[in-house]
Chains A and B, each alone.
Chain A
Amino acid sequence: MKIKNVKDMDYYELLNISRTATVQEIERAYHFCKATYQEDSIAHYSLVSEKERKTILDRIEKAYQTLSDLNKRKLYDLKMFESKEDYKEKAFFRKSTEKLVIEDTIDKVSFWRKLKYKLLSPKKK
């Protein structure tokens, strides 16, 4: 268990969006966060120090630069979530085409059925 402060939050948590957020959602969240922590905003008054405010604004900027670029976002997701426990791969492997991404998974039932059949069926001499 780790309680994350602003420095430990990933870019999605920082912008308060889901990992499947669209480009428009990212854009909206970025502008909202930027407005919240800009110098003339009173929302952070007395709670966030000037140093903390600059740090979070920097991170918000980096988050936007990364997540709004599809390639950078893919690399970031791979680096951040690939090996983590809560990252569950949806597909066993992916086949990409020009227009759509097809996600193929193993048919678990048929796999076990085949295995069972293989184990139980008498070996041919």
Chain B
Amino acid sequence: MNAERIIPHLSMHKGRDKSIWAVGGGKGGTGKSFISASLAIILADLENDVALIDADLGGPNLHTFLGMKETNLDLGDFISNKVPHLKDTVILTPFKGLKLIKGTENLLFMANLNYYKKLKLIRHIKTFDAKRVIVDIGTGASYNCVDFFLLSNPGILVVNPEPTSIENAYYFLKSCIIRILKLYTDFYNIQDLVNKISSHIKDNSKSIYSFLNEIISHDKHYAHIFYKALKKFRPCLVINKARSERDFLLGQSIVDVVKKYLVVDLNFLGAIPYDERVHLSLRSMTPYMSVYPDSEVSHSFKSIVNKLVYREN
């Protein structure tokens, strides 16, 4: 029995035909939407069939990064059943081959996104008719954010070279790990085993390693399943707003720390240099990538897109 095929939250789409990338990272203001928009613009130019979904439930503004203002339909219309399909909310962007599903500003939307509505949204995202789907997920490490991150392949973690951003990113990764373990625990119906082990782990050693090693001593079969599930979770990392050489090297260091202390293998895609013009382009409502296609920032994005596409092929 293959758990990934049955658990809807988990990613089961690989390869050239279809892929979902999600951009997240815990902290607000790290540049998730800017990165989502820029990746989508470059990818649309390359492959001509890209959908960008603004799933930032707290404060959607992806459309602004594309230089767009008001739209008739948004994600809220699909969630509230005003339209039957996610594709009905698609709007065209000024970029060839790039479609957008705008986030909703309806405050009630968040309260309305219950478990079944979330599953419905996940199902529609997974079957969305586009070669690449990029999902911009919101700030924080709630189940909603984590689930959108887990369904993607890969999830892209955006971190700024600041302690607060790194702290939130680690918290986000830990939430993802706990969520994966919980999904598998529920699937195999082994809550009792996990509860028993959790209570045995002493307070000073509550790490992922202690937990897994405790499971090994109780049941090797399930330990192997958990370990494999965590190893399959291979998020990517982007450092945004890098200002110094040290900031550029930070990504590889984070990869090392996460591997040693959280079991997870991160894939460092690269660092985006800090550029004041990002702010200026936003103020003038003109997409940065259109105005500065040959800047260092644009070249960094192109390199990241190439790595992501190569990773899939």
A interface residues with partner B (beta carbon < 8 Å): 1-6, 9, 16, 32-33, 35-36, 41-48, 52, 56
The 8 Å CB contact of A46, one of B161, B167, B213, B259, is B167
Distance in angstroms between the alpha carbons of A32 and B257 in the assembled complex: 12
Nearest neighbor of B223 in chain A, beta-carbon distance:
A1
Taking a contact as CB atoms under 8 Å apart, the answer to whether B250 and A43 are in contact is yes
Distance in angstroms between the alpha carbons of A115 and B158 in the assembled complex: 65
Complex interface: chain B residues within 8 A of A4 (CB): 209
Please report the total number of B residues contacting A with Cβ < 8 Å: 29
- A45 and B163 contact, Cβ closer than 8 Å, known pairs A2-B213, A3-B216, A35-B249: yes
User: Least Cβ distance of B78 to chain A in Å?
Assistant: 37
Taking a contact as CB atoms under 8 Å apart, the answer to whether A47 and B262 are in contact is yes
Taking a contact as CB atoms under 8 Å apart, the answer to whether A1 and B163 are in contact is no
User: Least Cβ distance of B17 to chain A in Å?
Assistant: 34
- A45 and B261 contact, Cβ closer than 8 Å, known pairs A3-B216, A35-B253: no
Distance in angstroms between the alpha carbons of A43 and B259 in the assembled complex: 12
Taking a contact as CB atoms under 8 Å apart, the answer to whether B256 and A16 are in contact is yes
A-B contact pairs, 23 of them (CB 8 A): A2-B213, A3-B209, A3-B216, A3-B227, A5-B209, A5-B260, A6-B260, A16-B259, A32-B252, A32-B253, A36-B256, A36-B257, A41-B253, A42-B161, A42-B250, A43-B166, A43-B250, A43-B254, A45-B163, A46-B170, A48-B257, A48-B261, A56-B260
B interface residues with partner A (beta carbon < 8 Å): 161-163, 166-167, 170-171, 207, 209, 212-213, 216, 220, 223-224, 227, 249-250, 252-254, 256-263
- A45 and B209 contact, Cβ closer than 8 Å, known pairs A1-B216, A1-B224, A36-B257: no
Q: A-side binding surface: helix, strand, loop or mixed? A: loop
User: Least Cβ distance of B177 to chain A in Å?
Assistant: 12
Complex interface: chain B residues within 8 A of A47 (CB): 170, 257-258, 261-262
Complex interface: chain B residues within 8 A of A46 (CB): 163, 166-167, 170-171
Complex interface: chain A residues within 8 A of B260 (CB): 5-6, 9, 56
Closest A-B pairs by Cβ, 4 of them: A43-B253, A36-B253, A46-B167, A5-B209
Nearest neighbor of A16 in chain B, beta-carbon distance:
B256
Taking a contact as CB atoms under 8 Å apart, the answer to whether B261 and A2 are in contact is no
- Give 14 new A-B contacts, CB below 8 A, not counting A16-B256, A42-B161, A48-B261: A1-B227, A2-B216, A3-B209, A3-B213, A5-B260, A32-B256, A36-B253, A42-B163, A43-B166, A43-B253, A47-B257, A47-B261, A48-B257, A52-B261
Taking a contact as CB atoms under 8 Å apart, the answer to whether A3 and B212 are in contact is yes
Nearest neighbor of B213 in chain A, beta-carbon distance:
A3
Complex interface: chain A residues within 8 A of B162 (CB): 42
Complex interface: chain A residues within 8 A of B263 (CB): 3
User: Least Cβ distance of A113 to chain B in Å?
Assistant: 43
Complex interface: chain B residues within 8 A of A32 (CB): 252-253, 256
The 8 Å CB contact of B220, one of A1, A5, A44, is A1
Nearest neighbor of A51 in chain B, beta-carbon distance:
B204
Distance in angstroms between the alpha carbons of A48 and B167 in the assembled complex: 11
The 8 Å CB contact of B256, one of A1, A33, A42, A52, is A33
User: Least Cβ distance of B259 to chain A in Å?
Assistant: 8
Nearest neighbor of A43 in chain B, beta-carbon distance:
B253
Complex interface: chain A residues within 8 A of B259 (CB): 16
Complex interface: chain A residues within 8 A of B170 (CB): 46-47
Complex interface: chain B residues within 8 A of A41 (CB): 253
User: Least Cβ distance of A107 to chain B in Å?
Assistant: 40
